[in-house]
Amino acid sequence: MPSKTPKFDAALDAILENLKPHTRKCKQCAGDFEIFKEDIEFYHKLHVPPPQNCPDCRKQQRLAFSNNTIFYVRSCDVSGHKERLISLFPTGINWKVYDNHYWWSEDWDPMSFGSNYDLGKSFFNQFHVFNRKLPLTQSNRDPKSIGSEYTAYGVELKDCYYVFGGTRSENILYGNWPIFARDSIDVLIAFQSELCYEIVSSFGNYNCNFIYFSDNCLDSLFLYDCKNCTHCFGGVNLRNKQYYFFNEPYTKEEYEKKMSEINLGSRKEFLCWYKKYFDFLNDKIKRATRNEKTVNSIGTFLRNSKNCFMCFWAEGENLRYVDYATALKDSMDTSIAGGNMQTQNELLYQSSYSGTYNIKCSSLVRSSHDVEYSMNCINLENCFGCVGLRNKKYCIFNKQYMEEEYWKTLDEIKSKMLADGEYGEFFPISMSPYPYNASLAQFEFPLTKEGVEKIGGYWAESVVSLEGIDPKNILKGDQIPDDIKNVGDDILDKVFICEVTGKPFRIIKQELEFYRRKNLPLPTKHPYQRIMERWAMKEPFKLWKYPCSNCGQEMHTSYNPAKKLKVYCESCYLKEVI
């Protein structure tokens, strides 16, 4: 089949033809990084040149194109609209933001912004100007979500509140990526879990509280790296256990008596048990990487994966430098993919929050194929450099082309980009509409405000104001009732002041009912702070080579050797779990 972009293909083939494994210097951080033989095989498969930046800098760029922690209050920029919005974008970014309903409507036409491409100018400079003309959507919320106004990115959510990402979940409050989960609060990557409070990267749990990296547990509290446990409290590295208390076996009667003496509904008592548990956890052995059902893979938090390299929190096959992804295959340098989970995503490269087939160097391009350098689009086919489009094909910069003209123009654009060293590179951080400190990049690559501005990003804080609130309705610290049994419905009228950040927040009705049902104390920390603390539970998305603390065999681990923890290789770890 003859090439549709012959000049570009010939130029790229000349670059790849004699490419050998070698060491490069990162254009952004100036550090050295390796181009491996397997990387080169992917460049041929994906038809892209080798990257100019190291894997970490490439990941930092992708993760900066999301906001997964903070909602801001701002005005809608649609003419004649006066409503205030809960948005991913703060006031003052000099970018129009439309409410979700209007953005998805037929009342405005993204094609009306169509522009001609100038081959005499840099692609990134042109795209930056063009992109700023298109309005942003309030929170990138799925139109199929119901009763979930205070959410972002999620797919088919129902009655969720303050949730970022997620798939087909219901009644989730305060969380990131609940996946087929329901009736839970404070979650970070919770698969098929129900009636849980504070859960981090766990699968298939029911009626559990404070569950970390644990799967298929029932009626349990304070578990870390446990599997198939029922009626356990304070467990670490347990397997198939019942009626265990701080890793010690109890009879059913002894366990129930012990539990009847504990009142976690009292914040004072809860904090005592919380501290006791984490003191107990600290000196226990750690598993080098947390992978389940993986073959020939290097990374951590991998599940049902094969042939993956330097991947984190991922599920798929033939992946390299991928994180936060499910249902993904034959892809490289991709972050946050596969939210639908009903569709196999393939051939993604240098993309974030994007999916389906052959998507390159794009952000928030969903259910599309053969799309490059585009943002916030859905159901596209053969498009390049587009923003905000839906159900289109053969478009460049939101301008419609005939098929033959499209390929001819695309060949010229990509050939020029390749010659200029632009093709294959992701958007620079300076083009992200999201505050860096609200993005996933801040978790993996934390920076100060000055550091963010140095790399071209921007920093934004939520405006904190207690103006107009009766001081009698403001509660701080020990003014918040200690025991949930002593909390009346009037608490819904109160404003709490976060004990860490000083930010005000409220308790909503569904939340109060949940705490009562679970006998848990009211929180004294803002939802944002609780999100931050859940993220701190995981190790960095980075691997070190480190000798097993038991057998001495060198292994990959996500635990920094500087911490001098007891970290076991998989073989030694499995011999120690009880």
Q: Are 507 and 521 in contact (CB under 8 A)?
A: no
CB 263 within 8 A of CB 519: yes
What single DSSP character describes residue 193?
-
DSSP 8-class letter at 521: P
- Is 188 within 8 Å of 199 (Cβ atoms)? yes
CA–CA separation, 227 vs 249, rounded Å?
16
Q: Does residue 138 contact residue 145 with C-beta atoms inside 8 Å?
A: no
What is the structure's pLDDT at 530?
95
Helices and strands in the chain, H and E counts: 13, 32
Structure tokens, 414: 């990509």
Place of tokens 């996946």: 179
What is residue 1's predicted lDDT score, i.e. its pLDDT?
Answer: 72
Angle at 119 between CA 117 and CA 120, to 5 degrees: 120
Q: Are 45 and 330 in contact (CB under 8 A)?
A: yes
Cβ atoms < 10 Å from Cβ of 210: 25
Residue of 146, 148, 105 lying closest to 388 (CA atoms): 105
Amino acid at 329: K
- CB burial string 491-515: b at 16+ within 10 A, e below: beebbbbbeebebbbebeeebbebb
Give me the phi and psi of 530, to 5 degrees please.
-65, -40
- Two tokens at 550? 């038991």
Tokens of 399: 């301008």
Radius of gyration of the chain (CA): 25
DSSP three-state, residue 530: helix
From the list 507, 506, 524, 503, the residue with the least C-alpha distance to 461 is: 503
Residue 312: strand pairing partners: 300, 323
- Please say whether the beta carbons of 361 and 47 come within 8 A: no
At residue 431, what is the residue type?
M
Is 382 in contact with 374 (CB distance < 8 Å)?
Answer: no
Q: What pLDDT score was predicted for residue 340?
A: 59
Tens digit of each residue's pLDDT, the chain (578 residues) = 788 999 999 999 999 999 999 999 999 999 999 999 999 999 999 999 999 999 999 999 999 999 999 999 999 999 999 889 999 999 989 899 999 999 999 999 999 999 999 999 999 999 999 999 999 999 988 888 999 999 999 889 999 999 999 999 999 999 999 999 999 999 999 999 999 999 999 999 999 999 999 999 999 999 999 999 999 999 999 999 999 999 999 999 999 999 999 999 999 999 999 999 999 999 899 999 999 899 999 999 999 999 999 999 999 999 999 999 988 999 999 999 876 556 789 999 999 988 889 999 999 999 999 999 999 999 999 999 999 999 999 999 999 999 999 999 999 999 999 999 999 999 999 999 999 999 999 989 999 999 999 999 999 987 777 877 888 899 998 899 999 999 999 999 999 999 999 999 999 999 999 999 999 999 999 999 999 999 988 888 889 998 999 999 999 999 998 888 899 999 999 999 87
Tokens 């860096």 belong to residue? 436
CA distance 53 to 49: 12
User: Which residue, chain included where needed, has tokens 């790849």?
Assistant: 16
235 Cα distance to chain centroid: 27
DSSP state letter for 229: -
Nearest to 353, CA basis, from 292, 455, 422, 426: 426
Pick from 230, 277, 203: nearest CA to 214: 203
3-state secondary structure of 454: helix
pTM of the model: 0.93
Tokens of 389: 């489009």
For residue 63, give both structure tokens.
């993760």
Would you list the DSSP string of 131-170? HHHSPEESS---TT-BS-TTEES-BS-BS-EEEES-BS-E
Q: What is the DSSP string of 22-53?
A: EEEE-TTT--EEEE-HHHHHHHHHHT-PPPSS
What span, in angstroms and rounded, lies between the C-alpha atoms of 288 and 45?
32
